[in-house]
Amino acid sequence: EAGVAQSPRYKIIEKRQSVAFWCNPISGHATLYWYQQILGQGPKLLIQFQNNGVVDDSQLPKDRFSAERLKGVDSTLKIQPAKLEDSAVYLCASSSTLARPQETQYFGPGTRLLVL
Amino acid sequence: GQQLNQSPQSMFIQEGEDVSMNCTSSSIFNTWLWYKQDPGEGPVLLIALYKAGELTSNGRLTAQFGITRKDSFLNISASIPSDVGIYFCAGRPTDSWGKLQFGAGTQVVVTP
């Protein structure tokens, strides 16, 4: 079974530029999560999708971050415009269903973003 | 807001030694999870705990869900070089639905 795929693996941009990350979850997984992991910290949930609907985006900085999962499969996370403090690893995770909260979340390798 | 406190922040141990780390929460959790993250990779689930008092092992790893439901610990016995990495606790508050909170991680370094 293929794992969670993310691209690109690395991205370097200048502040005020825009950037987009892509995630393809494990096949058949209904729930998709985007996390931000700042160096030296644990992952912090940004947004959670169930199929193509948003379940929780309370910690997403909506003035500059946006995410979509239009067909309920793959997802994109965008930052526009980027700030220096957005430098982090952006992790995507998926789980088979939200119906059972204890469902295991499987993480992708992450996209490492450096904003200069 | 809710916070997870994970300690220690880092550990330098010799191969063969046991390792112990713990997490405490300011609120009650219904799930405790322990993940390991290797450099350049995403976290990988090691152990999941769903009931207060539950003690679960996975090879040389043992974790427990605290009776108060506000804490958990992870033990690694007889450490080996491949145990190097960052270990994260994660918990699911009782009022959340799927949402996990992560600790800041424990960096483990194993020397031969």
Q: Which residues contact A60 (CB under 8 A, 6 or more apart)?
A: A46, A47, A67
CA angle, corner A91, sides to B59 and B55, nearest 5? 25
What does the pLDDT look like over B59-106, one tens digit per residue?
Answer: 999 999 999 999 999 999 999 999 999 999 999 887 766 678 999 999
Confidence of residue B112 (pLDDT cuts 50, 70, 90): confident
Least Cα separation, residue A17 to chain B (angstroms): 24
Of the pLDDT bands very low, low, confident and very high (cuts 50, 70, 90), residue A92 is very high
Q: Are B105 and A41 a contacting pair at CB < 8 A? A: yes
Higher pLDDT pick, B109 / B95: B109
Interface of A with B (CB under 8 A): 4, 31, 33, 40-45, 48, 55-56, 91, 93, 95, 98, 101-110
pLDDT digits (tens, 9 = 90+) for B14-52: 999 999 999 999 889 989 999 999 988 999 999 999 999
Interface of B to A at Cβ within 8 Å reads 4, 6, 30-31, 40-45, 48, 50, 88, 90, 92, 96-100, 102-105
pLDDT at A88 over 60: yes
